[in-house]
Homo-oligomer: A and B are copies of this chain.
């Protein structure tokens, strides 16, 4: 793998504390690949041969069952995905496709497991990462089970607002079709949900959202750190 992205990857929590030697060894065995949009990188059920790192573009994780499909996450630079499958040497539970032209570093799972055994700092970082991912997944379950679709949308908007810097005006950064699937609703339902949030000060213009009555929206959404916070 070329050198160019190494410093960025090295900065990830997952890799920042490991020894130089082990990091170089991981990188040495990896590939940097560029993919066009809409390429299915992983199909669920496949064995997990590589830990993936998105360094450019974006990748959607999704799942299929019985001819239905749902969006589970959208991975943006710089982050890894399918760490759990890699470590357990188990089949991937989700499929992955590029949403746009993307660059992905592929680290052979075998090397990840080998260096996990050799490098205590790396092992510690892996545990942190896994625990975080696990907790994020629990939060998603709570969001799904405890909230109506309207409430999920309202809270999503507040989270997205925060991610985008906190201003009253921000971009969705996701197609509405995909957002609908992510929030477990149909595009039609999402469209109507936006209208239902208008009384709470949500203005929609294409992918631009403006929140004109912040406290009204928060009052309706009732965000909870135990569901909506990234870090907790």
Contacts and interface: CB of A to CB of B under 8 A. Distances in A.
Contacts of A128: 87-88
Given A91-B226, A116-B127, A145 B85 contact: no
Interface string A132-145: 11110111111011
A160 interface: no
Contact of A90 (B44, B45, B145, B232): B232
A123 B134 contact: no
Given A65-B227, A90-B232, A222-B66, A117 B124 contact: yes
Nearest to A130: B130
A141 B144 contact: yes
A137 B84 CA distance: 11
Nearest to A221: B66
Nearest to A63: B142
Given A66-B222, A140-B141, A90 B146 contact: no
A139 B134 CA distance: 12
Contacts of A147: 65-66
A130 B141 contact: no
14 contacts: A45-B225, A45-B226, A63-B226, A66-B147, A70-B142, A83-B131, A87-B127, A93-B142, A116-B127, A117-B124, A120-B120, A123-B123, A130-B130, A137-B141
